[in-house]
Amino acid sequence: MEDATDRIARPWGTRVPYGRHETWPARVDTFLAEGVEPGAVRRWVQSASILHSDGDAMDIAVADGRMVGVRGRDVDRVNRGRLGPKDLFGWQANASRDRLTRPLVRRDGQLVETDWDTAMDLVAARSRELLDSRGPGSIGFYTSGQLFLEEYYTLAVLARAGIGTNHLDGNTRLCTATAAEALKETFGCDGQPGSYDDFDHADVVALFGHNIAETQPVQWMRLLDRLEGADPPRLLCVDPRPTRVAEHAAVHLAPRSGTNVALLNALLHETIRHERIDRDFIDAHTVGFEELAARVADCTPKWAAEICDVPAARIEEAAELVGTAEALVSTVLQGVYQSHQATAAAVQVNNLHLIRGMLGRPGAGLLQMNGQPTAQNTRECGANGDLPGFRNWQNDAHVADLARVWNVEPETVPHFAPPTHAMQIFRYAEQGSLRMLWISGTNPAVSMPELPRIRSILSQERLFTVVQDLYLTETARLADVVLPAATWGEKTGALTNADRTVHLSCKAVEPPGEARPDLDIFLDYARRMDFRDKDGGPLITWDDPESAFEAWKRCSAGRPCDYTGLSYARLRDTSGTQWPCDDRAPEGTARLYTDGISWAHPDMCESYGKDLETGASQEVVEYRSLNPDGRAMLKAAAYLPPHEEPDEEYPFQLTTGRTLYHFHTRTKTGRAPQLNDAAPDVWVEVSAGDAERLGLGEGDLVEVTSRRGSLRGRLRVTGIRTGLLFVPFHYGYWDTAGGSGPGPDTPGRAANETTVTDWDPASKQPLFKTASAALTLVERGGGRPSPAPTTTASAPVAAGAAPPTSGGPAARTTEQEPTEFPHGHEEGAR
Amino acid sequence: MNGIDLTLRTLHRGERHLAHDLVTVAERHRTEHEVHHVATDLARWSREHMRQLAETAAERGVKLGEPPDHSTDGVFATLREKASEAVVHRPEPGLLLLRDLRELHVRAAENSLHWEMLSQAAQASRDSALLTLASSCHPQTLRQMRWTNTMIKNLAPQVLTSL
């Protein structure tokens, strides 16, 4: 199948059908820059993607000391050689001319270039001054889901034991906090139960608020290949948009935003009513079944149909699909995580698997997904509002154990309250008790809710802001010190995807100018601050990625995310391996909970749980009485309406989300020509019925307004649910005259101008899916189409309303049989 | 009036006060988003408790009032919210917040003790309707207390060490 495919026009490439229980055949996708012949490539350097959470393994092509392309790794269990559009084209952003190459400091209101010593001395001096005058609570760190494991771990040690602050969180708060919280609530501990290999074995795959075709396009290729093979799976899609998944689904439910708990309770009701439950599994491995059954007893499909605005018959069909599956895989993402009652809803999916006994065997997979490539590492390293190694901040033995690993006194590590979550860190900065905020690898001036508020926080004179990034982002423009970072391909480190697969990403080329790896920046800071352990030795004893990885292994030892069986050498030899990997599981672990629930015991669990409605912490005494033997906990929840509902002034529901061609705030993908051209500007999606009612059409420039702010974009009329608007969240201001925000000649462009500051009380994940908004016409499109892609959920409802999205010759990618490559082959998943 | 009627009346008043205080705290701390949203949600629980208490009392021939219509407080509510927004960049309201959370906790604890009394009396008098009422409402009162306790625990370190 040597083939050159335009992978902008055909994002998922060519089908390689395969049957149930077979190994997914490999297909090697290669993209080389124009004019580069395969023979000109001097080196292929091992890596994996950092533009989504799939963990697609790839090799970076290097010629003349620069990156010239990428190729999928056919030996890898995750992607079997395939690459998605962002993997294929995103790397070009590394060589963008507007990379930051020197540190910047603010002088007389302007950011000016300086040297590393000056910039880092300034950061260290301010840190010391604040520690002396205001204490560790005046310093906070907000990091990313896009750095490497070694970097998060180093940051966690220097923040928690060096500075001694409780204020360290990642932007994973916006994307994956609910996944972690839902796993903690049900299993007592974080850790993805399932494996992507479960897709090979499932007869039903249920996707809850998860547009996998655009968020993990390579796993969608896997599902498409199965759909064309023998004994294909049937799909349940819960999504208010006409996604590609919806198109292929046996049952598609498009519920009203903010009604997930009602829908899931109805599915549980039907499952129990029809006795489609595994009594033995429930008795052996769970607590709380009677309470759950009582809670959903009245949640009939008819009841849910009213709330969700979905026909009761469709809910019954969905219930039959998940209730009669032999091997059910469920995946959950932002449609659930970024709605109100996020944790309560995600936990009901866990409950569905537990009462059906769909856990810990091939095809019975539960995947609480991640949005970002290294979100799992942020979580396990304790850079996300948890302690490293999934240790429990309320358990003194866990804190003592962590203190032993770090050779500090337990009191050194703040554990008097839960690690502060990002939304609260920003609140402390707003009210002035936090005076220094170090932001690494993320762009809150575009990604956080209610941007007018975020800009006002970051612009305060009294807040000293350090921003570490690749470009002069919207956030960097508001900073006091900007540190130029090296990125993927320019530094080495490990990263772990959403199904616990650890990859090594190696340095292929030098970073531009004076840009430095994030790890080096953190180590430099630790040296300047002279952090010490309890014996007076250096707190941080490592000095490069591999020694940092070895240090992390010691911290992970004996914990659920045990890395002790891994090493850089092993990751080079074998490609991706799933944790836990230790002497009991030297080859890694495909599935958790194959032999009962292992980490929920009161002495071992990461969390004693929270009240799903109020977020109140439970104490060990309650946990012990509820769950003395450490079983999975079936936690029931009642449906509650969202805080903000449409009214006369703001008659629409508004949801934000991603598109296939962009990632996060578009800092990289907006600088890759093929990706940028595929979706060059913000747009607004509306249903055909609403468009007709309001006399609006394709390409009309419209304004979306909420109580917080407004944005403008060109309209795309799609098959989205009536009464709902969709705006992609990627677009900001770096490529506009506004720079960091709207200006006199720059209208609002970021979706988050309109979103609300409100979050799920349990996971503290902000709500991006349930706001109310008004839609007004600014000017007619006059034949100019919306910039929305036509290949995805944004496709126009009227064929031909917009020219088809294509990449032309610049996006030609080869797809080859793997035998033509020198990699060895390994057996697949089974 | 017997002791049970008296307890119903006391509890009804207690829940009314708590509902009112929760809403007031939510408005006064409009810029403490989690407090604002959760306190508003929890006020609903107390109003629902009042409704159930009034229903049970009516069956016993005791008349208790309706839950307060919160909208009558509109002007003051707006004032409280505006005042909160005016001091969004100040740390001092943190102290006021801790005081308010403490008051809410004490108020909820009083209600909890009265629910306890009611539940005990219901068992002693084998009044199953009364027992059902207490067992459906009391757990939520305990959750209200747990929430205020958690918020105080989480916020106090920052508020008290930064002034």
**Residues on chain A touching B153 (C-beta within 8 angstroms):** 416-417, 617
Size of interface A-B (CB pairs under 8 A): 82
**Residues on chain A touching B89 (C-beta within 8 angstroms):** 430-432, 460
Neighbours of A124 (CB within 10 A): 17
Query: Using an 8 Å Cβ cutoff, are A382 and A389 in contact?
Result: yes
Cis peptide preceding A103, ω within 30 of 0: no
Q: Dihedral sign for Cα A135, A139, A145, A151, please.
A: negative
Q: Where are the alpha helices (DSSP H) in chain B?
A: 3-28, 33-59, 74-86, 93-124, 128-161
What is the length of chain A?
Answer: 830
**Residues on chain A touching B149 (C-beta within 8 angstroms):** 616
Q: Which residue of A has its CA nearest to B38?
A: A614
CA distance A138 to chain B (A): 8
Would you call A460 and B149 a contact, using CB atoms and an 8 Å cutoff?
no
Q: Which residue of A has its CA nearest to B156?
A: A417
- Answer whether A427 touches B (CB < 8 Å): yes
Q: Which of A273-287, A300-314, B3-17, B53-67 has the lowest mean pLDDT?
A: B53-67
DSSP, collapsed to helix, strand or coil, labels residue A652 as strand
Q: Which residue of B has its CA nearest to A762?
A: B34
Q: What is the predicted pLDDT for the residue at B148?
A: 98
DSSP A659-713: -TT--TTSTTGGGSHHHHHHS-S-EEEEEHHHHHHHT--TT-EEEEE-SS-EEEE
The amino acid occupying position B137 is C
User: What's the rounded Cα separation, in Å, for the pair A522 and A485?
Assistant: 11
For the beta sheet containing A812-816, the strands, ordered from the edge strand earlier in sequence to the opposite edge, are A4-6, A812-816, A28-32, A66-72, A57-63, A43-48
CA A194 to chain centre: 17
Would you call B94 and A431 a contact, using CB atoms and an 8 Å cutoff?
yes
Backbone conformation region of residue A447, classed left if phi is above 0, alpha if psi is from -120 to 50, else beta:
alpha
Specify the pTM: 0.96
Which of A416, A433, A457, A614 to mutate: most B Cβ within 10 Å?
A614
- Answer whether A343 touches B (CB < 8 Å): no
**Residue located via tokens 């026909």:** A311
- Answer whether B63 touches A (CB < 8 Å): no
Burial class (CB in 10 A: 0-12, 13-18, 19+), A695: exposed
DSSP A150-172: HHHHHHHHIIIIII--S-EEETH
Q: With a CB-CB cutoff of 8 Å, which residues 90-149 of chain B face chain A?
A: 90-91, 93-94, 143-144, 146-147, 149
**Given a cut of 60, is residue B87 above it in pLDDT?**
yes
* Residues A593-644: tens digit of each pLDDT: 999 999 999 999 999 999 999 999 999 999 999 999 999 999 999 999 999 9
**Residue located via tokens 């917040």:** B97
**CA angle, residues B151, B152, B153, in degrees to nearest 5:** 90
* Residues A748-779: tens digit of each pLDDT: 999 999 999 999 999 999 999 989 999 999 99
**Residues on chain A touching B37 (C-beta within 8 angstroms):** 643, 758, 761
- Answer whether B41 touches A (CB < 8 Å): yes
Q: Which residue of B has its CA nearest to A425?
A: B158
Name the DSSP letter for residue A572.
Answer: H
Query: Using an 8 Å Cβ cutoff, are A768 and A338 in contact?
Result: yes
User: What's the rounded Cα separation, in Å, for the pair A130 and A163?
Assistant: 10
Would you call B34 and A757 a contact, using CB atoms and an 8 Å cutoff?
no
**Residues on chain B touching A137 (C-beta within 8 angstroms):** 157-158, 161-162
User: What's the rounded Cα separation, in Å, for the pair A742 and A603?
Assistant: 51
Q: What is the predicted pLDDT for the residue at B73?
A: 65
Say what the alpha-carbon torsion angle A268, A273, A279, A282 is, to the nearest 10 degrees.
Answer: 30
Q: What is the predicted pLDDT for the residue at A558?
A: 96
The amino acid occupying position A671 is R
User: What's the rounded Cα separation, in Å, for the pair A717 and A115?
Assistant: 51
**Residues on chain B touching A618 (C-beta within 8 angstroms):** 146
**Residues on chain B touching A613 (C-beta within 8 angstroms):** 41, 143
- Answer whether A432 touches B (CB < 8 Å): yes
**Given a cut of 80, is residue B97 above it in pLDDT?**
yes
Q: Which residue of B has its CA nearest to A613?
A: B38
Q: Which of A138, A431, A617 sits opposite B89 (nearest CB)?
A: A431
- Answer whether A428 touches B (CB < 8 Å): yes
ipTM rounded to 2 decimals: 0.94
CA distance A414 to chain B (A): 11
CA distance A175 to chain B (A): 19
Q: With a CB-CB cutoff of 8 Å, which residues 730-759 of chain A face chain B?
A: 757-759
CA distance A417 to chain B (A): 5
**Residues on chain A touching B143 (C-beta within 8 angstroms):** 611, 613-614, 616
Would you call B143 and A616 a contact, using CB atoms and an 8 Å cutoff?
yes
DSSP, collapsed to helix, strand or coil, labels residue A47 as strand
Decide which of B84 and B27 is more confident.
Answer: B27
Instruction: Tell me the β-bridge partners of A63.
Output: A66
Would you call B159 and A416 a contact, using CB atoms and an 8 Å cutoff?
no
Tokens of A390: 């999934």
Name the DSSP letter for residue A23.
Answer: P
| % chain B with pLDDT above 70 | 95
Say what the alpha-carbon torsion angle B100, B106, B112, B116 is, to the nearest 10 degrees.
Answer: -170
User: What's the rounded Cα separation, in Å, for the pair A132 and A779?
Assistant: 56
User: What's the rounded Cα separation, in Å, for the pair A627 and A434?
Assistant: 38
Query: Using an 8 Å Cβ cutoff, are A246 and A214 in contact?
Result: no
Q: Which residues of chain A have pLDDT under 70?
A: 1-3, 819-830
Which of A295, A431, A618, A767 to mutate: most B Cβ within 10 Å?
A431
Mean pLDDT of B33-58: 96
Query: Using an 8 Å Cβ cutoff, are A52 and A373 in contact?
Result: yes
Would you call A423 and B33 a contact, using CB atoms and an 8 Å cutoff?
yes
Would you call A417 and B154 a contact, using CB atoms and an 8 Å cutoff?
yes
- Answer whether B158 touches A (CB < 8 Å): yes
**Residues on chain A touching B150 (C-beta within 8 angstroms):** 614-617
Q: Which of A137, A432, A758 sits opposite B161 (nearest CB)?
A: A137
User: What's the rounded Cα separation, in Å, for the pair A12 and A15?
Assistant: 8
